[in-house]
Structure 1
């Protein structure tokens, strides 16, 4: 990964961690739109920050807002559904404690919970089916076990 892109991503994460969420997301989105930027690295940062925004919204009982953030996290982390995290991106795990390997799965689980919280049962079921269809076998097993614990 290009060092300049990496530093811009780090700056956006620092802004996010300083509760400057809108500014951080604007910077990451602009960087992700740049054809010279690493799309996987940008996707991981977008997904991680959207996941955090979704958790904030969900904890504030703003379930529909959370759905939007979790959906964006699922989309941005889709490359991780069936592949390993590139070694160069493990720096985000070291620096920020992010579980990048579980990012896509976690985003899907949070999306399903938010849909249920918003009373959107049909969409929650469709999201579960999508996650199952797109997952590697080990993730499917994990999703099945997790789904059995959901209160309906």
Structure 2
């Protein structure tokens, strides 16, 4: 079990910290996730890789944590978001740390959807199922996160130049 822990702990921590944006909370969630995984190894059916199964546990534990903090995911279907998907992105080179720090400042709901979609590779239907929201809310949250991130980065770039 120790070898499994060493093999996966950093990747699972990275997934978790992107969702909860707090080192101490992420460490607690990772610990709880590994305990839960090791206690339920007999339920691992091998339909996916162990890493995928463990990541799902980490994501579910992170979402449970966020919900306990009363960060409920609500429908925002009526939110008007102007997103021009064809807009040319002509940004100067951006420091990855600037992007990471900007993502951390996004509203929690939008940040979680952005991370699940862009970084974890889930589609909106899966995100909707995971977060218990509608698929259109997932898309709206994603567009909102993208718009806010774009605005934050443009502001940072203007400030630097």
Give the structure-2-normalised TM-score: 0.31
Which structure has more RCO (C-alpha within 8 Å, separation ≥ 6)? 2
More helix by share: 1
